[in-house]
Amino acid sequence: MTNTPFPAYQYGEDVRIIEHGDRTILLVGTAHISRESVDLVKTVIEQEQPDCVCLELDDKRYRALSQKQQWQSLDLKTIIKNKQLSTLLVSLLMASYQKRLGGQLGVLPGAELLMAAETAKRLQIPLSLCDRDVRITLRRAWKSTSFWKKGYLLASLLTGLFDRSAISEEKLQQLKQSDVLSEMMAEMAETLPDLKRVLIDERDIYLAEKIKSSPGKRLVAVVGAGHLAGMLKGFAVDNAHQIAEITKIPAVSRGYKIAGWSVPLLIIGALIAIGVQKGAAVAGENLLFWILANGIPAAIGALLALAHPLTTLGAFAAAPITSLTPVIGAGYVCAFLQVLTSPPMVREFETAGEDIATCRGWWRNRLLRVFLVFFLTSIGSAIGTWVGGYEIFKNLAG
């Protein structure tokens, strides 16, 4: 395999020629919020007339870019059942960040990918969507990150999101020449190496292998500039054996499962021991304290989120029970109830990217309020678990 840039007078160094066996791949590195990249992609496809155009998109992201009503197909209840609220929030945060930068550059994020798809369709050239399913990417990223680093990641995203200062002209010019996601990951690579591995390195491998398997002798592949270096290495070796590994969701570790069940088993065991040692009445008093200690903070969390009254009642009822099982938390139960009682409207999905950047927007937008319900009731339930557990063990020892 060889790779060289096109002559500068033709396309410039953002386009690479990959000779892979008897096939020629034109690898176009773009910035996802650059007008220059939009024009470059259109020019390359029109002049080269390839057998296939490969895109750094999966089916879900492609439909999100190309269809105006993509939010109507989003099933929040299924997302909550599958415990994917956190990954959805990270996706919204990153999309909002890119959209804000794109607004200053006058180009919507992903415009060059949409231009590539539209140009290929107009010229009747087949499309190949070569990126890993975004849901798999986000879930692998979330599972690969420790609890404390998850907090760091969310804090970093929120800090950048609420920073309303204008980007300098120098920074804008830099962003025009690079991939925004890669810029973010490069800044956090030292602190969050596992996240970079999942979001960038694994996708470099996946993209290269999927492009290799796309039909045709002459291909044009449009990818973020941040993927170029890793993908060029990927074309030099056969990584097909890694695809199965990097497309599965890591199972919950046995140690985590044991830790998850240990707290409820200890609480139940302590209540039984109190009943045996001090009588059923004392055990009943401790059980009532457990219910109140869990239910009240969770309900307060729902109230702070301006949840529906039925969701608030559900928080009070669910927290004492969910705290005794690691299978599902109070936050997921309450988020599900909030969606049932106060479902977000389509326009609120569409404005979530703007609303997420303001404090008021989190309470005004019913989609974002679901996240508030989830987080605040989860925090309330966690506080109640520690307070209730401390009181029970203190009474057992006393």
**pLDDT digits (tens), the chain, 398 positions:** 555 544 434 667 788 989 988 899 999 988 766 778 888 999 999 999 999 999 999 988 888 777 655 555 566 777 777 766 766 776 676 666 556 555 555 556 778 899 999 999 999 999 999 999 888 887 888 777 776 776 766 666 666 555 555 555 455 455 545 555 555 555 556 667 777 888 888 999 999 999 999 999 999 999 988 888 889 888 888 898 999 999 988 776 677 677 778 888 888 999 899 888 888 999 899 999 999 999 999 999 999 999 999 999 999 999 999 988 877 889 999 999 999 998 887 677 767 777 877 888 889 888 889 999 999 999 999 999 999 999 999 888 87
190 plus 323 within the same structural domain: no
Domain's final residue, options 192, 227, 246: 246
Domain's final residue, options 204, 219, 246: 246
141 plus 235 within the same structural domain: yes
What's the CA gap between 282 and 182, in Å, rounded? 59
SS3 179: coil
Tell me which DSSP letter residue 126 carries: -
C-alpha closest to that of 181 among 31, 387, 22 = 31
What's the CA gap between 318 and 9, in Å, rounded? 66
C-alpha closest to that of 37 among 168, 154, 175, 195 = 175
In this structure, the number of other CB atoms found within 10 A of the CB of residue 262 comes to 11
351 plus 229 within the same structural domain: no
Q: Rounded to an integer, what is the distance from CA 167 to the centroid of its chain?
A: 25
77 plus 191 within the same structural domain: yes
Q: What is the pLDDT of residue 70?
A: 55
State which amino acid sits at residue 56: E
User: How many domains, the chain?
Assistant: 2
Contact predicate 84/135, CB 8 Å: yes
241 plus 282 within the same structural domain: no
48 plus 178 within the same structural domain: yes
Contact predicate 332/80, CB 8 Å: yes
Q: What is the pLDDT of residue 362?
A: 86
Label residue 111 exposed, middle or buried (CB < 10 Å: 0-12, 13-18, 19+).
Answer: buried
What's the CA gap between 227 and 200, in Å, rounded? 7
Q: What share of the chain is helix, strand, coil (3-state, %, to 5)?
A: 70, 10, 25
Domain's final residue, options 220, 246, 272: 246
What's the CA gap between 112 and 337, in Å, rounded? 40
99 plus 173 within the same structural domain: yes
235 plus 316 within the same structural domain: no
What the block records as the tokens of 53 is 């155009």
233 plus 259 within the same structural domain: no
What the block records as the tokens of 35 is 């007008």
Length of the chain: 398
Q: What is the pLDDT of residue 75?
A: 66
218-224 and 52-55 strand pairing: parallel
C-alpha closest to that of 26 among 298, 199, 217, 219 = 219
SS in 3 state form for 82-110? CCCHHHHHHHHHHHHHHHHHHHHHCCCCC
C-alpha closest to that of 267 among 377, 147, 387, 375 = 387
State which amino acid sits at residue 283: A
276 plus 220 within the same structural domain: no
Contact predicate 142/87, CB 8 Å: yes
What the block records as the tokens of 378 is 């989860």
pTM exceeds 0.85, yes or no: no
Radius of gyration of the chain (CA): 25
206 plus 315 within the same structural domain: no
- Which residues are within 8 A (CB) of 192 and not within 5 positions of it... i.e. 6 or more apart? 145, 149, 152, 153
What the block records as the tokens of 219 is 């291909």
239 plus 306 within the same structural domain: no
In this structure, the dihedral spanned by the alpha carbons of residues 90, 91, 95 and 96, taken in order and rounded to 10 degrees, is -40
Strand extents, DSSP E, the chain:
2-5, 15-20, 23-30, 52-55, 127-129, 218-224
State residue 356 phi and psi, 5-degree precision: -65, -20
Residues spanned by the domain of 360:
254-397
Q: What is the pLDDT of residue 33?
A: 67
In the chain, what is the straight-line distance between the N-terminal and C-terminal CA atoms, in Å? 74
What the block records as the tokens of 353 is 């990217």
State residue 5 phi and psi, 5-degree precision: -75, 155
Give me the helix-helix angle, 85-105 and 169-176, nearest 10°: 110
Contact predicate 385/294, CB 8 Å: yes
